[in-house]
Amino acid sequence: MVKAIQIGLGHWGFSWSKDVIPNVPTVEMVGYVDTNPEATERVQTELGIDPKLCFHSLEDAAHHTDATLAVCTLRTEAHYPVVKRCLELGYNVLVEKPFTTTIAQGKELVALAKAQGKVLMVSQNYRHQPAPIAAADLIAEGKFGALNLVSIDFRRHGPSQGYRYWDMPDPLLADMSIHHFDLMRFVLGDEPVRLSCRTWNPPGSPFRFDPSGVATIEFSKGTVVSYRASWMNSGPVTPWAGEWVMDGAEGQIAWSSRDHFRDKAGPDVLSLLPLDGKAEKVKLTPVKFADRMGTLNAMAKVLDTGEVPRGFSSGADNLGSLALVQGTILSASRGGDWVDMKEIMG
């Protein structure tokens, strides 16, 4: 059993408190932290959390609890200072994505975790779903031969679908695309070498910064990813993980994941389309601890047993996904010029 505190009880943090943490039995909550009294009051009144477990500062929680894990569910700009302080105080840390806003900050936190002998994990929850796990297995075993082109589409219409953060910098690339970028690395089992990206803000958009973009990303084994995504698309919505078509020498693997829209939720799907055969829908293996529950369960397993489960995204590993965010933002700022990933990673 891992004793934990949660830091950040706002909109998304409350969802962790309500929908995620209670469903991972290997985690015992001993503290909830937020500087806003209304946030701590909400978890008390709506979730029945004991007021004695609520704190308005990390230092206070550290003094009054015996937790070994800090679950950081704050807004992105708060990740770096809070995670840094958690590591300094001796906590292992599970933090929401993106875990920092710069590669330099990310490297600093990775180095600090190593120096402290602590585990730093980033919650890349899209890894913990049936379709991307199955797709990664198929790619690893060489199904349909070497990959040529991977096409990914993500479509949502923020104004009519409850989007909230109109003033967020890089609302597509930093907030949403990091999921897709991380899945590229996870599913392909490969790392990017260079990329080109363009972003824009369509007429009539309520976003302050660009919510739409396209990118071409080249990976080290020769696979090229064509990525198209938008928070301002009026067409049919895609699942949150996007619609993927992976083209190999002898056929295609098509899949989608996290098909949640408003009150409806559909299953992950994956189909095989051989070059000279009939399409086949693959039966996917259910994931016991899916999505965010999967990341929390993975962290608890590492701390309990020392075993690193599949889908675990350490801070060090996640630098690769963060680099794709930073690389696409840089390329877009240069009008779509090609960016070498070595420039981003330093």
Write down the domain spans for the chain.
2-118, 127-280+323-340
pLDDT beyond 60 at 72: yes
Tokens, residue 34: 């937020």
Task: Identify whether 25 is preceded by a cis peptide bond (ω within 30 of 0).
Answer: no
Instruction: Kindly indicate the confidence band of residue 263, based on its pLDDT and cuts at 50, 70 and 90.
Output: low
Average pLDDT (96-120) is: 97
Q: Give percent of the chain with pLDDT exceeding 70.
A: 98
Instruction: Provide the pLDDT for residue 27.
Output: 98
- pLDDT score, position 261: 57
**Region 2-118: CATH code:** 3.40.50.720
> Which CATH number is 127-280+323-340's, of 3.30.70.1290, 3.30.360.10, 3.30.2310.20, 3.10.20.340?
3.30.360.10
Q: What is the pTM of this model?
A: 0.96
* Element holding 251 (H helix, E strand): strand 251-256
Position 277 scores a pLDDT of 85
Q: What is the pLDDT of residue 165?
A: 81
Q: From 336, 135, 124, 147, select the one nearest 243 (Cα to Cα).
A: 135
Q: What is the mean pLDDT of residues 145-169?
A: 92
Contact yes or no for 230/198 (Cβ under 8 A):
no
Q: What is the pLDDT of residue 265?
A: 67
Answer for the pair 41, 310: CB distance below 8 angstroms, yes or no.
no
Predicted local distance difference test score (pLDDT) of residue 179? 98
Is the pLDDT at 319 greater than 70? The verdict is: yes
What are 323-336's pLDDT values in tens digits? 999 999 999 999 99
pLDDT band of residue 291 (cuts 50, 70, 90) is very high
Q: Average pLDDT over the chain, rounded to whole?
A: 96
Residue 163 confidence (pLDDT): 82
For residue 262, is pLDDT > 60? no
Lowest mean per-residue pLDDT among 109-118, 262-271, 279-288:
262-271
Q: pLDDT tier at 223 (50, 70, 90 boundaries)?
A: very high
The tokens for 245 are 């078509």
User: Would you place residue 266 in the very low, low, confident or very high pLDDT band (cuts 50, 70, 90)?
Assistant: confident
Region 60-73: mean pLDDT is: 98
Q: Residue written as tokens 């489960």?
A: 309
Predicted confidence band of residue 58 (pLDDT cuts 50, 70, 90): very high
pLDDT digits over 231-261, tens only? 999 999 999 999 999 999 999 999 999 987 5
Return the pLDDT at 317.
98
What backbone torsions phi and psi does residue 247 show, to the nearest 5 degrees?
Answer: -100, 115
**Per-residue pLDDT tens digits for 75-92:** 999 999 999 999 999 999
Q: How far apart are CA 92 and CA 306, in angstroms?
A: 13
Q: How far apart are CA 87 and CA 91, in angstroms?
A: 5
Closest CA to 15 of 93, 71, 79: 71
pLDDT at 100 over 80: yes
- Assess whether pLDDT exceeds 80 at residue 264: no
Q: Residue 262, class by beta-carbon neighbours within 10 Å (0-12 exposed, 13-18 middle, 19+ buried)?
A: exposed
pLDDT, tens digit, 9 for 90 and up, residues 163-178: 878 999 999 999 999 9
Which pLDDT score is estimated for 74?
96
